[in-house]
Amino acid sequence: MKSLFPLVSVFLLMVLFLYSGCKKGTVSEAPGPSLKVDSVYSWVCNMQMENGLLKTSEGGRLVSLYDNSLAALVFTAYGDFSRAEKIFDFFEGKMESEFLVHPGGFGQMRTSNGIPVENRPKRWLGDNAWLLIALNNYHHLAQNSRYKNLETALSNWIVSLQDTDGGLWGGFDEKGKQISKITEGNIDAFNAITGYTDFHRKLLNHLKQVRWDTKDKLLIAWTDNPDYRYALDLHSWGYCTFKGFPESVLRKASRFLTVQRATLTNQFIHGYCFDEDCDVVWIEGTGQMAVAFIKAKKEKDAQAYLLSIEKNLSASKLFSDTYGLPYTSNFGSSYGSDLLWEGADTNLAMSSTVWYLLARLRFDPLELGYDKNIPDEDKFWTK
């Protein structure tokens, strides 16, 4: 019987993908059960609606620009370009009616029919930057320039947000008022805009002057709130974005480590929280850290955290033989003291599931924008 197991496994895998309409991963996977990874990818595929968009969570009503950018990335990583194109086609079709309408940019959240919530979109820098990151990766791997106009429009809008101090405004709220400068969004934009130009130089100078802790050598999230001075994603994304960033940042992320019992599976999950409250395991953020550990060649750490969050994998209630991950292991607070939304720990979430897949596929979405030939004198993090 043992000799038949590989044949049976292959047969089951073929059946699964014929059923789901998804392609098998084209990026080399880390050690682990491929059937499990592919059944997770099948959940993402099944979440795609006819208009090309994917809801932010199973059973939810809302669609997130960031989550759809992530979905486009994992489709691209799998070589499933047609699925990524459906997402890009949707946003390209919204150029005149949304993106080019003052003050510009795509809205953060919309309903499943594609209309921005209350027709008053909040236009975040970071979310638009992630769409550009997804486009950059798609154009690179698909070896075409199909969405060059969309890419150019996003780039121009992002650059237009640069202030005289070099920092980028966070976008615009529902009333068109500028959102304050946010470190995370500035990092996203630095990576998304290709090359190394005066734009990048000024942005680095802003981060150096305002958002860099020279003593701890860490990026600062909230300058005037000591309790939330640091945020997990600045550790992983900082390391993956800035060449030569101190590897010690990954060790210093241990300040966010926690063990929590998962609401869905009742298993203990070891992973990272958003901040030093350490009251939840942020599954998405833990997946981001796994990607950073793989980049740093810390394979043991990456696999340990991936195996841990796999204990939170849960079967879909809508699509048979597919699995996903919730946003957090348990209920608690998000970054800062505000509580998470209902269902954050119980509904399968797009962002967490995709970051898990990207780590399992060993696909770093920030790698393409990593080598920018930054002059040594501008690398404040190496000083």
Same domain, 178 and 275: no
Choose among 252, 217, 231, 251: nearest CA to 381. 217
**Domain tally, the chain:** 2
316 and 239 belong to one structural domain? yes
Q: For residue 138, which of 60, 192, 213 has the smallest C-alpha distance? A: 192
Whether 196 and 219 map to the same domain: the answer is no
Q: Are 271 and 176 in a shared domain?
A: no
Q: Find the radius of gyration of the CA atoms of the chain.
A: 20
pLDDT value of position 22:
64
Task: State the Cα–Cα distance between residues 329 and 346, nearest whole angstrom.
Answer: 8
Please, what are the averages of pLDDT over each run of 10 residues along the chain (383 residues)? 38 38 47 71 99 98 99 99 99 98 98 92 98 99 99 99 99 97 99 99 99 98 97 99 98 99 98 99 99 99 98 97 98 98 99 98 98 98 96
Whether residues 195 and 261 share a domain: the answer is: no
Where does a domain end: 151, 177, 210? 210
Under a CB-based contact definition with an 8 Å cutoff, are residues 245 and 238 in contact?
yes
Q: What is the pTM of this model?
A: 0.92
Note whether residue 18 is domain-resident. Answer: no
Q: Same domain, yes or no, for 222 and 254? A: yes
- Note whether residue 132 is domain-resident: yes
Residue type, 173: D
Q: What is the CATH number of the domain that holds 78?
A: 1.50.10.10
The reply to whether 156 falls in a domain is: yes
pLDDT of residue 118: 83
Within-domain flag for 5 = no
Q: Is residue 381 part of a domain?
A: no
Domain match, 96 and 174 both: yes
Query: Contact at 8 Å (CB) between 369 and 135?
Result: no
Residues 198 and 230 in one domain: no
241 with 293, same domain: the answer is yes
Enter the tokens of residue 333.
């607070």
Instruction: Count the Cβ atoms, other than its own, within 10 Å of residue 320.
Output: 12
Q: What is the pLDDT of residue 119?
A: 84
Q: What is the pLDDT of residue 36?
A: 82
- Confidence at residue 14, expressed as pLDDT on a 0 to 100 scale: 38
184 lies in the same domain as 137: yes
Residues 194 and 226 in one domain: no
Residues 296 and 206 in one domain: no
What confidence score (pLDDT) does residue 23 get?
Answer: 60
Q: Which of 157, 189, 210 is the last residue of a domain?
A: 210
Range of the domain at 190: 50-210
Is 90 among the domain residues?
yes
Q: Is residue 26 part of a domain?
A: no
Residue 329 in any domain: the answer is yes
